[in-house]
A and B are shown apart, each in its own frame.
Chain A
Amino acid sequence: MADAIVSLRNVTKTFPGGVKAVDNVSFDIAQNEFFALLGPSGCGKTTLLRMISGLETPTSGQIIIGGEDMALTPPNKRPTNMVFQSYAVFPHMTVADNVAYGLKVTGVPADETKRRVAEALEMVKLTHLAQRKPDQMSGGQRQRVALARALVKRPKVLLLDEPLSALDAKLRDEMRLELTRLQENVGITFIIVTHDQDEALSMASRIAVMDKGAVQQIATPSELYEQPTSRFIADFIGKVNLINARVVSSSASKVVCDAKGLGRIELPHEGPAQGDIAIAVRPEKLKISEAQPKGASAIATEGKVRDVAYFGDTSHVVVRCKDDLELAVNVQNDKRAGGAGVERGQQVWIHWAPEDTLVLTE
């Protein structure tokens, strides 16, 4: 990437005791991106973030920030700043002193420090609390201090380690919007670590999904959702029906396979496919009807409703089909009466368009 601000080249981190936290990771993050590292706990995302900040050193590989190799650069010399998961707001300093800390220790003149601290506090709306001690503040306020303290340094990259995890649900939604807005205003690259896919999907411009120390896929939120490249991603992001299948034949743009419960079907697919594969389809793409659908193009199967769970705007219906295949269907409750329109035990047909189906070879 030409305008990469952060480049990772074959970064590996092995902890004493042989645990490989990060395994040969390479990717670029562009200027002004809101980039998310998403994955289950223990996938290495926090370790990767800490290596970018310099708080952890890679066992091998290169980390390049703003065109410079950071191998030997300690954290205090890097153009990155971090918002810690616990916020790490210094308890023995006032809010203003906390924000000023990073400027004072690097010898920024006093009058400039004062001006920049005031600006930063203004930005996070904490001007009125400047002289408070952190123990007199709420979690949300402390997080704003941590944000101001990092942004006042004008880093090239702002690193956020699970910034919303310690907040309650309502505050989290507010802060999510505020972080997105802040990123647009300051024009700094944000890298956020999160285990919450909603957080990543709603805030980030690009997401790297990690599992077991390796990056599984890097894509925009909608690509991740609609075009996952592996079973893991399809399953990890949102809900999905994964159906095992076996390839019968494939051509440049099509695959013919025998799928469990569905029989022989033809799906659009580019690229090679052979042997055992999985086909994936999101529950909201499935349709329920009482009668067999007309038209040969749709994929269709018959089954019995096993469960109906009512969620207000939608209902989640589970249908058991041939070969013990269970399919989850999201039904929009778009009429006031009737809910999902089906009952447990009812015999129904399920159908969907082949182009809504994904062929996963990994």
Chain B
Amino acid sequence: MAQTLKPGSGPLDYGNRTWLKILFAAIFFALYAPIFTLIAFSFNTDKRGVVWRGFTFDNYVKAWNNADLQEAMLNSLTIAFISTIIATILGSMVALVLWRFRFPFKAGYEGVMSLPIVIPEICMGVSLLLFFTNAGMMAWSVSFVWPFNLINIIIAHVAFCFPFVAIVVRSRLVGFNRQLEEASKDLGASEWQTFWNVIVPFMMPGLIAGALLAFTLSLDDFVITYFTSGPETVTFPVKVYSLVRRGVSPEINAASTALIVITVVATVLAMKLQAPDKSGKG
């Protein structure tokens, strides 16, 4: 490290240090190069996918026409959609309760509520497998018509998504100025009117961010789905897993790229909505 100073650059201007810039470039390269090659080679005409032979959309057409992949994608989106709605409702209610009320053993309740986030996914996956099997739901759900046969997976996804939603919504609520609520009641609104007209609009960015988070988590989940899905209820990640075990193909690249685009768009949207907002803080 520098034993002398560079003119115009202070000793704490680490952002200007060449070694740090090189390290940054190297780490970001390592982080992104595999993903970008994956995306790039989804447009490759070569079957074995190592050497660039030419640009094509064929892989996307093939992936799109692959009935198995299509079904898996439809399952994934359906599960993500329904789980998101339930998880957002449950998560916001938990957030409201934790924000609004004092009650006995609250710290313990919060701790248990965050457990689905911290325990290893595989433990949650196998515990749900055990539960669904013993409760007969594993065998029972198979007899249902689509999309009701996805019920086990949806239940599992809601269980690990809604604590995340609760955290996001609660962090939004913390910024709420209670005087707005008092002002609304002072002006003659009932508890219920105040909730809908004052609190819900304030919560909205947190609700949307939480919902998008739940959507990506559900869409991306492999481990828990792997244990709770049956042979008829294959999701996209589970399908890709079985394909990958058989080898690399540009078709998987194409399907993966589609999923990457969906999640990245949802994530960037969620982050935009979570950006600090001053309104309502008074």
Contact = CB atoms under 8 A, between A and B. Distances in A.
Interface of A: 54-59, 71-75
Contact of B4 (A58, A59, A72): A72
B4 to A, nearest CB: 4
B232 to A, nearest CB: 58
B136 interface: no
A57 B5 contact: yes
Interface of B: 2-12
A59 B10 CA distance: 10
Nearest to B7: A57
A49 B4 CA distance: 19
A74 B8 contact: no
Closest 6 CB pairs of A and B: A72-B4, A56-B10, A74-B5, A72-B5, A57-B5, A59-B8
Interface centre among B2, B8, B9, B12 (most CB of A within 10 A): B8
A57 B4 contact: no
Interface centre among A54, A55, A57, A73 (most CB of B within 10 A): A57
A54 B4 CA distance: 11
Contacts of B4: 72-74
A64 to B, nearest CB: 15
A73 B5 contact: yes
Interface of A is mostly: loop
Interface of B is mostly: loop
A72 B10 CA distance: 11
Contacts of A72: 4-5, 7
Nearest to A14: B8
A75 B8 CA distance: 14
Contacts of B6: 57
Contacts, number: 29
A344 to B, nearest CB: 42
Interface centre among B6, B7, B9, B12 (most CB of A within 10 A): B7
A55 B8 contact: no
Nearest to A53: B11
Nearest to B4: A72
Given A54-B5, A55-B11, A57-B7, 13 more contacts: A54-B11, A57-B8, A57-B10, A58-B8, A59-B8, A72-B4, A72-B5, A73-B4, A73-B5, A74-B2, A74-B3, A74-B11, A75-B11
Nearest to A71: B7
B14 to A, nearest CB: 13
A271 to B, nearest CB: 39
Contacts of B11: 54-55, 74-75
A56 B8 CA distance: 8
Contacts of B10: 55-57
A74 B8 CA distance: 12
Contacts of A57: 5-10
Nearest to A76: B11
Contacts of B2: 74
22 contacts: A54-B5, A54-B11, A55-B10, A55-B11, A55-B12, A56-B10, A57-B5, A57-B7, A57-B9, A57-B10, A58-B8, A59-B7, A71-B5, A72-B4, A72-B5, A72-B7, A73-B5, A74-B2, A74-B3, A74-B4, A74-B11, A75-B11
Nearest to B1: A74
A268 B4 CA distance: 54
A139 to B, nearest CB: 25
B1 to A, nearest CB: 10
Contacts of A74: 2-5, 11
A55 B11 CA distance: 6
Contacts of B3: 74
Contacts of B8: 57-59
Interface centre among B3, B4, B5, B6 (most CB of A within 10 A): B5
Contacts of A75: 11
A189 B11 CA distance: 24
B34 to A, nearest CB: 35
B128 to A, nearest CB: 44
B15 to A, nearest CB: 10
Nearest to A72: B4
A255 B230 CA distance: 103
Contacts of A59: 7-8
A301 B7 CA distance: 58
A271 B134 CA distance: 104
Interface centre among A55, A71, A74 (most CB of B within 10 A): A74
A37 B116 CA distance: 58
A54 B7 CA distance: 11
A246 to B, nearest CB: 46
A73 B4 CA distance: 5
B5 to A, nearest CB: 5
B98 to A, nearest CB: 30
Nearest to B13: A57
B16 to A, nearest CB: 10
B260 to A, nearest CB: 36
